[in-house]
Amino acid sequence: MFDTLEECQEKCGKPEDRCSKPLERGICLASMKRYGYDTSNKKCKAFIYGGCGGNENNFETMAECRETCKDTSSEEESVPDACLLPSEVGPCKGKERRFYFDQKRGKCKSFFFGGCGGNGNNFMTKAKCMETCSKHIKPGTEQDVCSQPIEAGPCMAMFKRYAYDNKKKNCVQFIYGGCKGNKNNFESMEECTRTCKKAVPDPEPEQDTCSQPIEVGPCKAMLKRYAYDNKKNKCVQFIYGGCKGNKNNFESMKECTRTCKKAVPEPEPEKETCSQPIEAGPCKAMVKRFAYDNTKEKCVEFFYGGCKGNKNNFETMEDCTWTCEQRLPKPELEKDVCSQPITAGPCRASIPRYGYDSKKRKCVKFTYGGCKGNGNRFPTKNECEKTCKRGATETTNPGGENNKCLLPIVTGPCKGKNRRYAYNNKTGKCVKFTYGGCGGNENNFRTKKDCEDACKNINGEHFMISSTLAQFQSEKENRFPKLLEIACFFDQAAYSASPCTLPIDKGEGDWNLPR
């Protein structure tokens, strides 16, 4: 605050100093109507201010300009129509594709903008240029029609019509008054869509907009804007400088959320992760990892190649178990299991399983999705029948621990090279083999001793059964072909049950043989 006018002018400059400065748009790209004193014409005039930079010869009203600069003229010049201005690259050296209205040709054209300066005839998209300058577009093209605003006209009729909405980017219904208006007026939705779909250029995919980084730009304006933050997975506020930047720039939180919510994919649910197959990937590393095996219905160790693969890949057994096994239902009592409905579960894997159909009173094959479901689900038909058959015992793993020794030797689908041991049921010995790192079965031991300890009780048992029946066949040839067939299947490890678990059966013959 100053005590006298002279003191104020001495410190801050006289009004005429302010008024003698040239009219400056500034370096930003806003289009603000301002007033300044034109020294060549000796009067105040309107001009377009970019929003930042410039100088003090910049007034918000004509009255303020006239009072400050002692302009006594009564004429107020109008702001030039931006669409009638020439295209201006500006003094900067950038190369941004923009659009301007070509007054001579009566249509919007593209040009390369330097990034600063320029004028208001500068639009981010062709659609925005057409919308702003529609009144100057020469009539006669589909593009012109679809870019015109929706106009009901001054009359009072109530005709149902359709028009292209440039903001919504589709055809909408509106009520036409019956007179005047413009050509963006169709009698059917089909006609509007057919005409304007090919006339209006498609916008860039929303995915590209929302995945772009947040950019302030080089200019110095302080404009409040909103953008999608890919790290936080939500829209956030930021300060925009006023020029350059990118399309991840919205004027409201609502617009940002509406645009990017549908463009950014939802995270993959855990249930889909656990139902994916175990994949080592194409690379050759040997990284110890854990994954959920849908066949065994538990987490297992495998060797990851180090690249690609999928999300069914955990660094610790605890992570895998917590993610994939904790969500599975706990086993229920056997009598309840067989009465439960056969359920595929919500996941999308395709795993063959068997369940007891209480209506058909038999075990049937179905496809299990890989997660949830219930206890009425068995790896084999044999196991389903033994569990759910009336009068069956509660044992669902006949043969106990030794049963895995009768399984075939399986390398698995992965490409690792791990030395393992498995029981060869033909030779009756534990042998070395190369395990790929995932899949396979339980006939898989880290050491030869582990294999021999697990399979010692079965050693020689199936050979004894096979040879005894072979001898019996030579004595009573062709009397018991079915019994011999069972022995052969068992000898090839195709028969899943150990003989010791089967019930005593006298058979159908008339022989009296001690057994």
pLDDT, one tens digit per residue, over 181-213 is: 888 999 899 889 888 875 555 444 444 788 899
Who wins on pLDDT, 438 or 193? 193
Judgement on whether residues 414 and 492 belong to the same structural domain of the protein: yes
515 in any annotated domain:
no
Q: Is residue 437 part of a domain?
A: yes
Residue 316's pLDDT is: 87
Look at residues 347, 374, 398 and tell me which one is the last residue of a structural domain.
Answer: 398
For residue 357, give the CATH number of its domain: 4.10.410.10
Cα torsion 194, 199, 201, 207 to 10°: value is -10
CA distances (Å), origin 149, targets 129, 131, 167:
13, 7, 10
The answer, yes or no, to whether residue 432 has pLDDT greater than 70, is yes
324 located within any domain: yes
Answer whether residue 302 shows pLDDT above 70.
yes
How much is the mean pLDDT over the chain? 76
Backbone angles phi, psi at 288, to 5 degrees: -70, 120
Domain shared by 367 and 406, yes or no: no
Domain that holds residue 256: 206-261
CB 426 within 8 A of CB 466: no
Does residue 177 sit within a domain?
A: no
Which of 32, 53, 79 is the C-terminal boundary of a domain? 79
pLDDT of residue 272: 72
Do 418 and 494 lie in a common domain? Answer: yes
Q: Which of 228, 244, 261 represents a domain boundary (last residue)?
A: 261
**pTM, 2 dp:** 0.24
- Whether 467 shows a pLDDT value over 90: the answer reads no
CA distances from 343 to 330, 368, 369, 382, 510 (A): 15, 7, 9, 19, 47
* pLDDT attached to residue 501: 59
**Residue 478 forms part of a structural domain:** yes
Q: pLDDT by residue (tens digit) across 105-146?
A: 778 888 888 777 788 898 888 888 888 887 776 555 545 688
pLDDT attached to residue 141:
52
Residues 390 and 406 in one domain: no
Same domain, 297 and 322: yes
Residues 497, 404: one domain? yes
pLDDT at position 329: 45
> Is residue 509 one of the residues assigned to a domain?
no
Q: How many domains does the chain have?
A: 5
Q: Is residue 19 part of a domain?
A: yes
Alpha helices (H) along 97-188? 126-132, 142-147
Task: Please say whether the beta carbons of 292 and 324 come within 8 A.
Answer: yes
- Is residue 488, in this structure, part of any structural domain at all? yes
Task: State the DSSP code for 174.
Answer: E
pLDDT single digits (tens) 242-294? 777 888 999 888 889 888 875 555 444 444 788 889 999 888 878 889 999 88
pLDDT at position 301 over 90? yes
Calculated CA dihedral for residues 161, 164, 170, 171, nearest 10 degrees: 10
pLDDT at 283: 85
